[in-house]
Structure 1
Amino acid sequence: MNTVILIPARYASTRYPGKPLVELKGCQGTAKTLIQRSIEAARRVPGVSGVFVTTDDDRIADACAGFGVGVLMTSPECRNGTERCAEAAAQLYEPDLVINFQGDALLTPPGFVTALIDHMDANPNTDVATPAMRQRASEVRVLQAEEAQGRVGGTSVVTANDGRALYFSKKLIPYLPKGALDGELSPVRLHIGIYAYRPSALATYVATPISDLEQLEGLEQLRFLAAGIPVDVVEVDTPPFTLRELNNPEDVEPIEAALAAAGLE
């Protein structure tokens, strides 16, 4: 398949303005911007036709010029990364598969993306797929504490027996009764914010109105579910380090700790 990776990045983040250009230190103390680290992570994925950053901001485009990556400029009217990917994909020559490698996915193991590509290749009728992994009980407790303080630390997903998503939420789901966190791995599956789309699914997405749930949760993937487009959830192995997204300034320190644990410079 002709597979392209798109990295949507916007400067005007509500929770953390300018975060693509925030510097993060690696295991040896070298500071690199978030967008540079995300580009490096995307380039570790084998077998793709190209990696592009898609943005509406000249500051991000100028920064990317130094990394030798293609930049696809999109409208500031794009409301989320999926809409930005849809607009950017239209500038490319007939990709078979579009990977949305979100701009804060710097810790994503390349195997997560390979698992998505393999799933889409083996299931030609699947329009959208995204990965998820079981979360350690200790990490869930950290997220519970952050949730109690009003901070968002991740997105969880629940699925049907066939692996299709039933719901995504910024709250921890499902409900955890007493004893649910007694083991090393919890019942909570952390949604990894990467997507594989057929171009036809992107066209349907941009033609579909925003749903109430998408607005309330602030989760773009809920529009697919509201439109009746199944989203396959591909189970991936939990890595030995903690996966974190850069959503708040408080996330910098744990992300730098994860970069050190992963041995990423």
Structure 2
Amino acid sequence: MTMVTLGAVAGHFGRDLERGLDKALGLLAAAARDGVDLLVFPDAALGGYLGDLRSPAPDDLPPALAPDSPQLAALIAAAGPVTVCIGYAEAAGDLRYNTAVCLSGDGVLGTHRKVHQPAGEHLAYAAGDAFGAFDTPVGRLGMLIDYDKTFPESARSLALDGANIIAALSAWPASVTDRAARLPADRQSRLFDLYDCARAAENQVFVVSSNQTGVQGELRFLGQAKVVGPGGDILATTRSKGGLAVATVDVEAEIVRARRVLDHLAERRNDTYLIESPSRTR
């Protein structure tokens, strides 16, 4: 039996890059003392997210960092045996990407550039074009960012690539068109939890879901960091407050148990599925 402790952060990370880094380093140190093996920070924890999802202001974009930036180097130096996933705006030549990086004291273990872009996000970031899993000290892992988890194919691609754990990093706000007076009653609050649980249950994997809290410009973030088991059950959650959702589990044993009778990946019928919409003729 190999037990690992999975942790998902809900917290406010704004535009102040150095303050965000200091906060991340403090949370990492505390998590390491408490025996956390995987720590998943929100999307855009280094430099903050957009202030307006529909029309992002060109003069208020998150600072873009190179993959070999001092900030990421500081996290690698501090991580030690802890596996850390964190989001930032990646500078890549003339482009910038909404990127998640997975690292430990051994260096960068994997990266993911957000593929699916809602509303006006394409005005601020280029889109990624791939989903892939990779090996880490806590097992084979894949990452999703924000809107990626709305699409079942995203998590399914990671599960088919062998991921037992999906780290879902978000800067997920309340509805921008029909905002509720209370966050728990907001339509996006319900959907955020629904997607986390559905992606875990349909692929029979663990989902470690982080999110921003607080306010950035016009956006009010939901929090609701959580750890979800391979049956779609929420094992730990911060609800709408900041904090750390933690669960200690035997990842491999729980996945084997979930798939003992009904193995969703093995029992697919690929010959019956429409991969793309058929062309329509009149």
TM-score by length of 2: 0.26
| Structure in which a larger fraction of residues adopt helix | 1
TM-score by length of 1: 0.27
| Structure in which a larger fraction of residues adopt strand | 2
* Structure possessing the higher relative contact order (Cα contacts under 8 Å, 6 or more residues apart): 1
